[in-house]
A and B are shown apart, each in its own frame.
Chain A
Amino acid sequence: MSEPATLTTVTPAGAARAIAIARLPEQGMIMLRADLGAAATKKAVKAAVGTAMPALRRIEAAGARAAAWMSPDEVLLLLPRAEVDAALAAIAKAMGTAHHLAADVSDARAVFALSDGPVRAVLAKLCPVDLSPDRLPPGEVRRTRLAQIACAFWFDAAGAATLVTFRSVAQYAHDLLELSADPAAVPPFPR
């Protein structure tokens, strides 16, 4: 990594924020497109990140590794960046001649960790999604938009969210999150 992961801020220096916003530059990611029901694909996911195949809209996590359902024929595998090449090789071996596409997308994305506060209320300002905890429980992935850009996110049991968007708009995403995390304007929603 030679690129600084720091982003500039749009709010005044020292301005308080309702949540913590941190970029995770070391997150490794593999896009896997295949028949998600096939035994070979399940085996490939297991070999790459050690989890079961996630069900519809779910994310299966095992420590620092996870598999997230993206579409009926796509999963996103999350793992430490250093393990990506080995995981790609494991996928190729498990899939054999089965039709699939696996690609390293670690650098194509920007990942943010949102925690320590009303994360759902902040995201509700930007994403047209029902963020109530009983409608979007921990472990469920939502692909949606963050104001004008595509994103995906999920919550953990502690109420923190991981948000994935595209690399080129990392600064825009960061600006949006920062502006929306004004502690003086935390909405009484979702509930």
Chain B
Amino acid sequence: MSTRLATGGRLIDRTRPLGFSFDGARLRGYAGDTLASALLANDRMLVGRSFKYHRPRGILASGAEEPNALLGLGTGARFEPNVRATQQPLFEGATATSQNAWPSLAFDIGILNDLAARLLPAGFYYKTFIHPRPFWKHLFEPVIRRAAGLGRAPREADADRYEQLYAFADVLVAGGGVAGIAAALAAAATGARVILAEQTAHWGGRAPVDGDRIDGQAAAEWVAAALARLGAMPNVTLLPRTMVAGVYDHGYVLAEETLADDPAPGHARRRLWRIRARRIIAATGAIERPLAFAGNDRPGVMLASAVRDYVVNWAVSPGDRTVIVTNNDDAYRTALALLDAGLAVPAILDARPEATGALPAALRARGVRVEAGRAVARVLGRGRVRAVQTCLQAGEGAVIDEIPCEAVAMSGGWSPVVHLWSHCGGKLRWDEGRAMFAPDPARPPTGADGAAMVIAAGAASGALHATDCLRDGHEAGRRAAAEGGSMPPEAASPAEAPHAEAPAEAPLMPVWRMPQGAGVRLAAKMWLDFQNDVKVSDVELAAREGYQSVEHAKRYTTLGMATDQGKTSNINGLAVLAGAIDAPIPAVGTTTFRPPYTPVVIGTLAGEARGAVFQPLRRTPIHGWHEARGAHWEPVGQWRRPYCFPQGGESHADAVRREVLAVRNAVGLLDASTLGKILVKGPDAGRFLDMLYTGVMSTLPVGKCRYGLMCNENGFLSDDGVVARLSEDTFLCHTTSGGADRIHGWMEDWLQCEWWDWKVYTANLTEQYAQIAVVGPKARAVLEGLGGIDVSAEAFPFMAWVEGTLGGIPARIYRISFSGELSYEIAVPAARGLELWERLMDAAAPHGATPYGTEALHVLRAEKGFIMIGDETDGTVTPQDLNLGWAISKKKADYLGKRGQERSFLTHPDRWRLVGLETLDGSVLPDGAYAVAEGTNANGQRNTQGRVTSTYFSPTLGRGIAMGLIARGPERMGEVVGFPTLDGRVVQARICDPVFYDKAGEKQNV
């Protein structure tokens, strides 16, 4: 049984009990517990089922490396899967559930996979389900998908809020253990800006648990004093509960801070730090390796370091009797911690031929049975450890004796956490003596200055012993400040590193298989990757089947591919692979370390961008009016424009019909404020616009307007709009609503990069003006109702503009028409846009005062055969395709797109060109429908000869009208072409002139 000890526990507060639940059972823990320590204190050794064989799994570790204790946390909209119990602080009311078990954790039906384990080797799926082919998609994959996966995805949208923060530092220290603290102290003393981030809520890392002494103090006291000093420095930011997730190019770092485990509604739960650091110190410590012996995945088998963490930090006993199995001296500290807590250590099985160091001697002195050259043959017990059988490490597993116990503490040595070093390409070296990969200082990840941007420090650099670790951290801090800060290290950094005292340790002996001569029967029960169920036998099988590369073997066996990314399995796995293919370990190498170090909640990556602020919503000055009148919206870029204004129970189609007829017969008002308005000014402005537009703008008289087309260099139509000449050297260019920013950027691109010597300035004044179109036969009467500007046909002809005061509001009016009706577009300062709109609505009241939306606008322009950028164009259409040759100057030597348009494909007579289309039955053609031609193409698809680009019901004509691009279209007037529909019919339509209404243009010119 695991249980809570009567005394001790340096991180728990026994005066603050907390209630929580696990799989529905109500349990109690203390403030300061992790979910894992609280579960163990309640004798919940079994916390999950393995991925593939559904074997019972207990807590293995005490930190980020935990592969087994992945729980679902919370319920409903606050449910989060795959929470590592070892990293999750306990909070009142926490609701945890086990994963991957059905129907229950204690009785799981998937355990049948375990009995059939010999039938489910590495690559089983690849081998088994290849044939027959269709079975994969329809039979095997659905079944496997249902059985696979860890945890389940949340079903509801995340109820919590998240935020991000941009931060900048001279030195970022990742890891708040003693090496990181020493580094931060050394760096901060120079005045450098330092951020110190620690993934847990506690500072000091392992040192307080391991009993180190620093500068004559107990480690915990030294840590507390150091933190107080750092906290008082204005140049230091301390970030507990902040996991540095990844290092990216040029010193960019992402870190996830937990603000609250159970936040009040409306407050952020986590914060993503987006840090730009000149130097990054990776003081991320080391992770203990499991040993590969048969049954090492049984609940109750734990990492030795985790056992002493639970005893010392949380006063949790893993069981009365704990057998230690190790290949190094460090695990003896666990035995000491257990003895100090009054628990029994029946035996220490040391795989090394002799165990004579200071720590083994100390244990022998306390009467503990220390057996050198010994190993675990197998673990007995199913749901939890009952006993271990011992054998010789040198042998094949013949059982020497059986030691009853409740827990096994194993240690296969330590691996530096090299993730942050490696994310941006830092290389590793194999340390033969200590059997570990450590950062190679000669091959660091380099930053913008070409120098190392990451400095590994402490255990993460390979300095495992406390004395080396602290000195290394201090030196890293000094170096980082010298390179990343603004002051030389001699300025203030103390040259003397803090000094740590800890017993000397004898070298370890690499042990990748226990016992070394174990046969396949034992190897098939030796777990490497606990989360993905990969065993020694699987890696050896992969090697036999020809997988030599560690990256290939990883994917074939899935070793290290689970949510823990192989933190406890990578090194053991590649060592087994190296042994199986008789290659040295460094020749096999590691797989690639990629961010994030541990999983990051998706919500932190989205940050604030959800709900009301998911995207910026651009509003015109009249937006609120439209909203109050129940406008149905259409997104146009980031604008919202009214699509139509339904009245009463009117359908959208009926509203559009009513709005179109109102414009044709009386008057309608359109909010055209979203139109792009770019001011172009300077002595070379005319010359500049002559290059941008296909037509000639420099000859436009002051006071007049001219329609123009812009193409890209390839000759394809990019934007259109009306240009007004405001003065000799000033033009106002209207663009499409969605094109304003793009066209302004396009103009600046040419002016800044190509024609930098031309005297032209531009200004995007789109939002300075509200613009309202008053359209229809009664438009003039409406403007006269406001008064102040002579809008008579004589004083103010078509394609002119005037400036003045309209109804007391300073205004510029353009007499232009996108509907074929008499039309005025009135621009006023945006702040007065709503006022003008309301005044115009009042003035138009005798004529119906109909506001209309974008759909009526589209129908009106389509009836007139006017093209729309984005409908008739798609980036592959030229003005010539749209019969807009009249807007292209033949005289100009050049304009953007001219040479492109002369290429053979763009001048080919077979190109699809704009025509009108009228269905024989008067119906509305489906949007985007293709006109089919005879025969099939090389792919066996039906040939096509054109497509519909715009199609509407015309209320004016009472039937469907459409525009389309048809091969040689204008040459084929009167021909009938067929458009197949999705429901299998073919709609016949006759090619016709695209101008369906008022071809002579009499209505707009009155």
- Interface residues of chain A, those whose CB is within 8 Å of chain B, are 1-3, 10-12, 15, 25, 31, 33-34, 73, 99-101, 103-109, 124-132, 135, 147-149, 166-172, 175-176, 179-180, 182, 184-185, 187-191
Using known A-B contacts A108-B767, A130-B168, determine if residue A103 contacts B834 with beta carbons closer than 8 Å.
Answer: no
Q: Shortest CB–CB separation between residue A109 and chain B, in angstroms? A: 8
- B911 neighbours in A (Cβ, 8 Å): none
- A10 neighbours in B (Cβ, 8 Å): 611-613
The reply to whether the CB of B28 lies closer than 8 angstroms to some CB of chain A is no
Known: A101-B763, A187-B271. 12 other contacts (CB 8 A): A2-B831, A99-B683, A103-B679, A106-B768, A107-B768, A108-B766, A128-B274, A147-B616, A149-B616, A182-B268, A190-B167, A191-B234
Complex alpha-carbon distance, A10 and B611, angstroms: 10
Using known A-B contacts A15-B266, A135-B168, A185-B271, determine if residue A176 contacts B613 with beta carbons closer than 8 Å.
Answer: yes
Complex alpha-carbon distance, A11 and B608, angstroms: 13
Please name the residue on chain A nearest to B830 by beta carbon: A107
Using known A-B contacts A103-B768, A107-B767, A176-B613, determine if residue A187 contacts B759 with beta carbons closer than 8 Å.
Answer: no
Please name the residue on chain A nearest to B741 by beta carbon: A150
8 contacts between A and B (CB under 8 A): A33-B763, A99-B682, A99-B759, A105-B765, A106-B831, A107-B829, A148-B609, A185-B271
Are A3 and B834 in contact, with the CB atoms below 8 A? yes
- B831 neighbours in A (Cβ, 8 Å): 1-3, 25, 106-107
Which residue of B166, B193, B617, B767 contacts A167 across the interface (Cβ within 8 Å)? B767
Using known A-B contacts A176-B608, A180-B163, A188-B237, determine if residue A168 contacts B168 with beta carbons closer than 8 Å.
Answer: no
- A176 neighbours in B (Cβ, 8 Å): 608, 613
Using known A-B contacts A2-B834, A101-B681, A108-B830, determine if residue A147 contacts B767 with beta carbons closer than 8 Å.
Answer: no
Q: Shortest CB–CB separation between residue A79 and chain B, in angstroms? A: 16
Complex alpha-carbon distance, A166 and B621, angstroms: 12
- A147 neighbours in B (Cβ, 8 Å): 608-609, 613, 616
Complex alpha-carbon distance, A180 and B111, angstroms: 49
Complex alpha-carbon distance, A45 and B768, angstroms: 21
Please name the residue on chain A nearest to B809 by beta carbon: A2
Are B165 and A125 in contact, with the CB atoms below 8 A? yes
Are B608 and A2 in contact, with the CB atoms below 8 A? no
Are A167 and B761 in contact, with the CB atoms below 8 A? no
Are A189 and B165 in contact, with the CB atoms below 8 A? yes
Are A189 and B237 in contact, with the CB atoms below 8 A? yes
Q: Shortest CB–CB separation between residue B260 and chain A, in angstroms? A: 8
- B835 neighbours in A (Cβ, 8 Å): 2-3
User: In the complex, how many residues of chain B place their beta carbon closer than 8 angstroms to a beta carbon of chain A?
Assistant: 57
Are A148 and B682 in contact, with the CB atoms below 8 A? no
- B763 neighbours in A (Cβ, 8 Å): 31, 33, 101, 103, 105
- B473 neighbours in A (Cβ, 8 Å): none
Q: Shortest CB–CB separation between residue B269 and chain A, in angstroms? A: 10
Are B768 and A11 in contact, with the CB atoms below 8 A? no
- B833 neighbours in A (Cβ, 8 Å): 3
Q: Shortest CB–CB separation between residue A169 and chain B, in angstroms? A: 5
Complex alpha-carbon distance, A185 and B164, angstroms: 11
Which residue of B167, B234, B617, B765 contacts A108 across the interface (Cβ within 8 Å)? B765
- A128 neighbours in B (Cβ, 8 Å): 166, 274
Are A124 and B167 in contact, with the CB atoms below 8 A? yes
The reply to whether the CB of B509 lies closer than 8 angstroms to some CB of chain A is no
Q: Shortest CB–CB separation between residue B3 and chain A, in angstroms? A: 38
The reply to whether the CB of B945 lies closer than 8 angstroms to some CB of chain A is no
- Interface residues of chain B, those whose CB is within 8 Å of chain A, are 161, 163-168, 193, 195, 234-239, 259, 264, 266-268, 271, 274, 276, 608-609, 611-613, 615-621, 638-639, 679, 681-683, 759, 761-763, 765-769, 829-835
- B236 neighbours in A (Cβ, 8 Å): 191
Please name the residue on chain A nearest to B766 by beta carbon: A108
Are B616 and A185 in contact, with the CB atoms below 8 A? no
Please name the residue on chain A nearest to B639 by beta carbon: A168
8 closest A-B pairs by CB: A101-B761, A168-B618, A107-B830, A2-B835, A108-B768, A108-B767, A130-B168, A33-B761
- A125 neighbours in B (Cβ, 8 Å): 163-166, 608
Complex alpha-carbon distance, A94 and B192, angstroms: 48
Complex alpha-carbon distance, A169 and B639, angstroms: 9
- A3 neighbours in B (Cβ, 8 Å): 621, 830-835
Are A132 and B166 in contact, with the CB atoms below 8 A? no
- B621 neighbours in A (Cβ, 8 Å): 3, 167
Are A171 and B237 in contact, with the CB atoms below 8 A? no
Cβ-Cβ contact count across A and B, 8 Å cutoff = 144
Are A148 and B615 in contact, with the CB atoms below 8 A? yes
Complex alpha-carbon distance, A25 and B830, angstroms: 12
Q: Shortest CB–CB separation between residue B805 and chain A, in angstroms? A: 13
Which residue of B616, B766, B830 contacts A148 across the interface (Cβ within 8 Å)? B616
Complex alpha-carbon distance, A167 and B681, angstroms: 23
Are A2 and B268 in contact, with the CB atoms below 8 A? no
Q: Shortest CB–CB separation between residue A59 and chain B, in angstroms? A: 20
Are A129 and B193 in contact, with the CB atoms below 8 A? no
- B830 neighbours in A (Cβ, 8 Å): 3, 107-108, 167
Complex alpha-carbon distance, A147 and B682, angstroms: 34
Q: Shortest CB–CB separation between residue B682 and chain A, in angstroms? A: 6
- B168 neighbours in A (Cβ, 8 Å): 130, 132, 135, 190
Are A168 and B237 in contact, with the CB atoms below 8 A? no
Please name the residue on chain B nearest to A148 by beta carbon: B616
Are A169 and B769 in contact, with the CB atoms below 8 A? no
Q: Shortest CB–CB separation between residue B56 and chain A, in angstroms? A: 41
Complex alpha-carbon distance, A124 and B833, angstroms: 34
Are B165 and A124 in contact, with the CB atoms below 8 A? yes
- A167 neighbours in B (Cβ, 8 Å): 621, 767, 830
Q: Shortest CB–CB separation between residue B255 and chain A, in angstroms? A: 12
Q: Shortest CB–CB separation between residue A69 and chain B, in angstroms? A: 16
- A168 neighbours in B (Cβ, 8 Å): 618-620, 639, 767
Q: Shortest CB–CB separation between residue B487 and chain A, in angstroms? A: 14
Please name the residue on chain A nearest to B624 by beta carbon: A4
- A132 neighbours in B (Cβ, 8 Å): 168, 193
Complex alpha-carbon distance, A184 and B263, angstroms: 10
Are B166 and A129 in contact, with the CB atoms below 8 A? yes
Please name the residue on chain B nearest to A165 by beta carbon: B616
- A12 neighbours in B (Cβ, 8 Å): 266
Q: Shortest CB–CB separation between residue B653 and chain A, in angstroms? A: 29
Complex alpha-carbon distance, A127 and B617, angstroms: 18
- B268 neighbours in A (Cβ, 8 Å): 182, 185
- B266 neighbours in A (Cβ, 8 Å): 11-12, 15, 182
Please name the residue on chain B nearest to A135 by beta carbon: B168
Complex alpha-carbon distance, A18 and B27, angstroms: 38
Please name the residue on chain A nearest to B730 by beta carbon: A101
Complex alpha-carbon distance, A110 and B237, angstroms: 34
- A101 neighbours in B (Cβ, 8 Å): 679, 681-682, 761-763
Are B761 and A2 in contact, with the CB atoms below 8 A? no
Q: Shortest CB–CB separation between residue B124 and chain A, in angstroms? A: 47
Complex alpha-carbon distance, A39 and B638, angstroms: 41
Complex alpha-carbon distance, A182 and B613, angstroms: 15
- A148 neighbours in B (Cβ, 8 Å): 609, 615-616
Are B259 and A185 in contact, with the CB atoms below 8 A? yes
Complex alpha-carbon distance, A100 and B237, angstroms: 47
- B683 neighbours in A (Cβ, 8 Å): 99
Q: Shortest CB–CB separation between residue A38 and chain B, in angstroms? A: 13
Complex alpha-carbon distance, A131 and B274, angstroms: 13
Are B759 and A185 in contact, with the CB atoms below 8 A? no
Q: Shortest CB–CB separation between residue B738 and chain A, in angstroms? A: 13
Q: Shortest CB–CB separation between residue B764 and chain A, in angstroms? A: 8
- B271 neighbours in A (Cβ, 8 Å): 185, 187
Q: Shortest CB–CB separation between residue B315 and chain A, in angstroms? A: 32
Please name the residue on chain A nearest to B836 by beta carbon: A2
Complex alpha-carbon distance, A73 and B274, angstroms: 32
Please name the residue on chain A nearest to B770 by beta carbon: A107
- A180 neighbours in B (Cβ, 8 Å): 163, 608
- B619 neighbours in A (Cβ, 8 Å): 168-171
Q: Shortest CB–CB separation between residue B429 and chain A, in angstroms? A: 36
- B681 neighbours in A (Cβ, 8 Å): 100-101
Q: Shortest CB–CB separation between residue B465 and chain A, in angstroms? A: 33
- A100 neighbours in B (Cβ, 8 Å): 681, 761
